[in-house]
Structure 1
Amino acid sequence: MSVVGCIVYKHNLWLVLVALLICAAGSWVTARLVLRAFATHSLQRLGWSFIAAVVAAADIWCTHFIAMLGFEPGVPIAFDPVLTITSLLIALVGSFAGFLLATSRVANRLTRAAPALGGAIVGLAVSLMHYAGMLAYRVQGIVIWNRVGIALSIAFAVAISALALHLAGVAARRPQENAASARANAEASARVVAAVLALAIAALHFTGMSAFQVEPMPIDGHFSNPAALHALALAVACMALVIAGAGCVSFLLDDSVRAESVEHLRTMALSDMLTGLPNRASFNVRLDAELARAQDTRKLALIGIDLNRFKEINDLHGHHAGDEVLRILARRLSSLMREGEFIARVGGDEFVALTRFASREELGDLLSRLETALYRPVRYDDAEVLSGASLGVAIYPDDATTKTVLINNADLAMYRAKADLAQSVCFYEPAMDEIARARRSLTHDLREALARGQLSVHYQVQTSIASGEICGYEALLRWEHPRLGFISPAEFIPLAEENGLILGIGAWVLREACERAVSWLPPYKVAVNLSPVQLSHADLPKLVETVLVETGLAPERLELELTETAIFADRERSLDVLQRIKAIGVNIALDDFGTGYSSLDTLRSFPFDKIKLDQSFVGEAESSRQATAIIRAVLALGKSLGIPVLAEGIETEAQLALLADEGCDEVQGFLLGRPAPLSHIVASGQLSLLAEEEEKLGEVRG
């Protein structure tokens, strides 16, 4: 009950409590929606601002309307429908404008006061709505307004609403350390902003009502129906709660969708898309967590796993088969993991496992299970493939005390296992660091050797069996290290391929061989080996053509040798490259035949001018009937296809006689001539040079 002058006004306390409940609930939902609008961009911000405005307008208007229905002036009352609806639209439009300004990124860049200015607009809209609603309130009497009360109510509404959105803006700009603290801060901010918004609405209404006075002028026959008004108030309250609930549900649904999206993205970020296993990022997180458990007395084993024949599977059966093999192996590895054990795929055919163990028996059990899974044949369609794997083990803290060193040591052990065919599992040993450092040092020296001209080309003669005449020479790269002496090509060529030096070295060998061969008398052929890397990564036909043009060597005097392994890396591209080289007029030889895939389809599909039988068969021919049978088969195959065969590695007269009896075309080996510098070959009288080149060579010898 309130007293104004001598007039006593009554209030329905239940409706006043309902109004306050609506005010609190609506403010809480509005605060959350406004904070969401601050956190979004572009159209999303516009959408959240509109939803917040709808909830705020319903909250403000319903609070006012229900409180007015709970006000009993003691005379008949009514409501003007046009002004009543207009007051609701004022609340909606004003709130939307205020929220847009408060959350605008442009406005916030121009001034930090943008949220407070937006809040002031919302407060002004609340005031206009209130007094428009009061004008729609019809009573039988004379209405008297207290101007001071009106001014105070408007000032309260504007100032407190500005404070509410200012606090929301401060909360939105506050940096967050992590997701948990962000959620906690958002909850606390929502409660504070909601409380201040509710205070703004309540302050306006109750201060404004204290400025409202009525002098009754009852007219006979006119009366109000309190029951109907109360029912209307409850209906409005229900509608307000429905609107606030809809806003709350939209917020919660968005929160749920965001959480699901974040979880989905997190799963994608930490999982390998092909196999479903944890990926490298997930492995790093797990390893960090394991290393952080310093109080755990058990040791930690890091096991690096690299499949042995995965490239072969891709080449022979296609990449779809390779993917399926990876999926099958991943399922096997995942199924054998026990509590505390972890497996992840960290690269193309690379996996890594982690486990804590108290004894070597526990670790040995996991390694045994891994070997069993990796060495069991894999069925794909109608094919059965066996990949196998190399496993390298490093133990924390025995072998390393930091994450980087532990991973590096496991890799070193794994590469040692890959190099040693006798064992599939290798434990890290300190000596491996020395080997790795030596390889890095040798790679650096090789780079320097190329830059400083320390590499050289030796030549080995190729001879016709039928006539005994020289057919040509194979150019062979040699490296005389200034400190270490002669370095075998078997040692430095793989280093060059691993570190990208082979392209430069290969181009240099090709140019050097062509420059020297152009001056040979007689004009024998020169054969140059190609690395698989050159065939895959260099514009080889253009390089060959450029070198021939610049050196002046006739294309038919150049023979390029490559292995089947190089071809199978990319058959279609390899065929295209070889056809373009053949178009120039250069000859192509298939090197090391019999040691790779050795398929008839390769000889049929690719334009080879010569087959080079691998020296391993020639070396075993005297003691192995199987090797002799293979030699006969290859020679027969060459004759049937019209491709001459050259046998490598001839070291004895018996080997030469065997090949002559079987009809081999050409031979090459120590028996006929060791690789030697060009100057030695010229000095032996096997060939001579054009006068100009002879003079240059003499200067070099001098």
Structure 2
Amino acid sequence: MNADFSSALSRPKHADLRNAVIESLKESLSALRDFLGMETIFVSEIEDGQLWFLAVDEASPFLTPLIPDNCMKLDRTLCYWVCNDILPQVIQGNDPVMQTVRRLREDENFQIGLHMSVPITIHPGLPFGTICCFSMKERAPLSDQEIRIFRTMADMISTNLRLQAKISGYVEPIGEDLARMLSAPSIRPVFQPILHFASGRTYGFEGLSRFTDMPHYSPQDMFRLATQYGMGPKLELNATNSILDEAERMQCRSLVFLNHSPDSLLAPSLQARLESYLKSDRQRGLAIEISEQAVIQDFSRLEHRLSALREIGVKIALDDVGQGNAGLAHILALKPDLIKLDRVVVAGLEAHRENRAMVRALLRFAKDIGCELIAEGIERETERAILMELGVELGQGFHLGRPAPLPLLH
């Protein structure tokens, strides 16, 4: 990560900007909540993986009172899923989507009467936070007019934020870059080949992203930044769309590997896109890579999603195996079709017999459970030779092929 990126993430948001907006909101929020007949309304700010409550108006306290300047972990909130287009902005208590809400909340007994959340922005397409109202009691659905008024209020808050930002001289150039990425993606897909050692035949390609408008940020920086702003799943979905569009354009029939976090796998639009890609040509194949280092809060929820993906023909790959300490637990829980051996293990094969022993053990384990093992990060011929001697058949790395546009690889 470059220095500018690190300092930007650690810089707190402008306090004067928040305070001016909060003061102007207090009476408006109370009037809007009363007009809608809801129990709770609040304005929040997204920062560093947390949802901070800036202004709150409640008719009666929630199960856990929402207090200004307190926060909740962002990816456990409904606002997070709304911002990433995984949940609709308006959720009625009797909606079929309530079952999805319960899975996200990890609470089968969770029930709301009505919930509405709309992003508020400084940079178009990138949420500063949300305005959210809800009622835990059963109540009549919101009318079209009530929904329009609520969204108008969100637009007014966004306009106020942008005005205050201009007056105070508050700028956030990285936020502008990310907003542009999310609203009008300029992603250049590249593909790194995965080869059979013995024949040199292509087994598949890992689809990767390059951000053409922001060459001063690495791809890892961009995805990390999106996660900090609570927009990681949306950027992952944009990247997958770009990769699959290019694979379709080039009539690729090799297995294409896509990287996704557990959160982005929940998006209905992802499964629809994967299914359309596979149905358009029966010879195509897809694999979803989930990092061994990914924090998986709820294995049962993830298993449900992976089962749905397997039903449409998607393979599941566990990435970075050997780098973290959750490998065996993740393998047993996710039952992957493919295991990708981390480059840290591969780089130490010549010098460390422990690394070679790990490869032998993983290879036996993979065969016993019906998995294929792929070695990543192969940068020297000696590494490829040792892997072949150990019995590994598939590999990926700069020695075998660098990421490149698909036309060049074809």
CA deviation string 1:436-469 (max 9, x = no partner)? x99x422320221343332211110110123221
CA deviation string 1:108-158 (max 9, x = no partner)? xxxxxxxxxxxxxxxxxxxxxxxxxxxxxxxxxxxxxxxxxxxxxxxxxxx
Match of 1:498 in 2: 228
528 and 554 in structure 1: CA distance in 2 versus 1, 3 angstrom threshold: farther
Match of 2:177 in 1: 445
Local SS of the residue matching 1:527: strand
Percent identity for Structure 1 against Structure 2: 30
CA distance in 1, matches of 2:178, 2:262: 19
Counterpart check, 1:530 vs 2:257: no
CA distance in 2, matches of 1:527, 1:502: 18
Counterpart check, 1:543 vs 2:270: yes
1:68-87 matched pairs, under 5 angstroms: none
1:231-380 matched pairs, under 5 angstroms: none
2:322 alignment partner, one of 594, 597, 603:
594
Amino acid at match of 2:302: S
Quick check: 510-519 or 618-627, which moved more? 510-519
Amino acid at match of 1:549: S
CA distance in 2, matches of 1:564, 1:553: 31
450 and 601 in structure 1: CA distance in 2 versus 1, 3 angstrom threshold: closer
CA distance in 1, matches of 2:338, 2:271: 19
Local SS of the residue matching 1:532: coil
Could you tell me how far 1:631 is from its partner in structure 2?
2.0
Contact 2:223 2:235 in 1 (8 A): no
Match of 2:203 in 1: 471
Larger Rg: 1
Amino acid at match of 2:341: L
Counterpart check, 1:480 vs 2:205: no
Amino acid at match of 1:548: E
Count of aligned pairs between the two proteins: 248
Could you tell me how far 1:555 is from its partner in structure 2?
8.3
Counterpart check, 1:455 vs 2:187: yes
Match of 2:354 in 1: 626
Amino acid at match of 1:508: N
CA deviation string 1:402-454 (max 9, x = no partner)? xxxxxxxxxxxxxxxxxxxxxxxxxxxxxxxxxxx99x422320221343332
CA distance in 1, matches of 2:307, 2:396: 27
Could you tell me how far 1:530 is from its partner in structure 2?
0.3
Identify, as 1 or 2, the structure richer in helix.
1
555 and 501 in structure 1: CA distance in 2 versus 1, 3 angstrom threshold: farther
Contact 2:343 2:377 in 1 (8 A): yes
Match of 1:661 in 2: 389
Could you tell me how far 1:658 is from its partner in structure 2?
0.6
Match of 2:368 in 1: 640
Match of 2:164 in 1: none
Local SS of the residue matching 1:462: strand
Amino acid at match of 1:654: T
Local SS of the residue matching 1:621: coil
Could you tell me how far 1:545 is from its partner in structure 2?
2.9
Match of 2:143 in 1: none
CA distance in 2, matches of 1:481, 1:520: 23
Match of 2:124 in 1: none
Local SS of the residue matching 1:559: strand
Structure possessing the higher relative contact order (Cα contacts under 8 Å, 6 or more residues apart): 2
Could you tell me how far 1:567 is from its partner in structure 2?
6.2
Amino acid at match of 1:674: R
Gaps of 5+ in 1: 1-268, 274-278, 282-318, 320-436, 682-686, 688-702
Could you tell me how far 1:569 is from its partner in structure 2?
2.0
Contact 1:525 1:557 in 2 (8 A): yes
CA distance in 2, matches of 1:610, 1:627: 19
Q: TM-score, normalised by structure 2?
A: 0.55
556 and 581 in structure 1: CA distance in 2 versus 1, 3 angstrom threshold: farther
1:672 alignment partner, one of 394, 397, 400:
400
CA distance in 1, matches of 2:230, 2:217: 19
Contact 1:455 1:477 in 2 (8 A): yes
Contact 1:497 1:533 in 2 (8 A): no
CA distance in 2, matches of 1:595, 1:505: 25
CA deviation string 1:144-182 (max 9, x = no partner)? xxxxxxxxxxxxxxxxxxxxxxxxxxxxxxxxxxxxxxx
Match of 1:571 in 2: 299
CA distance in 2, matches of 1:545, 1:280: 39
553 and 513 in structure 1: CA distance in 2 versus 1, 3 angstrom threshold: farther
Amino acid at match of 1:498: Q
Local SS of the residue matching 2:263: helix
CA distance in 2, matches of 1:545, 1:554: 16
CA distance in 2, matches of 1:574, 1:442: 32
CA deviation string 1:46-103 (max 9, x = no partner)? xxxxxxxxxxxxxxxxxxxxxxxxxxxxxxxxxxxxxxxxxxxxxxxxxxxxxxxxxx
Contact 1:526 1:559 in 2 (8 A): yes
CA distance in 2, matches of 1:667, 1:599: 19
532 and 444 in structure 1: CA distance in 2 versus 1, 3 angstrom threshold: farther
CA distance in 2, matches of 1:678, 1:545: 23
Could you tell me how far 1:594 is from its partner in structure 2?
1.6
550 and 668 in structure 1: CA distance in 2 versus 1, 3 angstrom threshold: closer
Amino acid at match of 1:543: L
CA deviation string 1:222-265 (max 9, x = no partner)? xxxxxxxxxxxxxxxxxxxxxxxxxxxxxxxxxxxxxxxxxxxx
Local SS of the residue matching 1:481: coil
Q: TM-score, normalised by structure 1?
A: 0.33
Contact 2:247 2:406 in 1 (8 A): no
Amino acid at match of 1:462: I
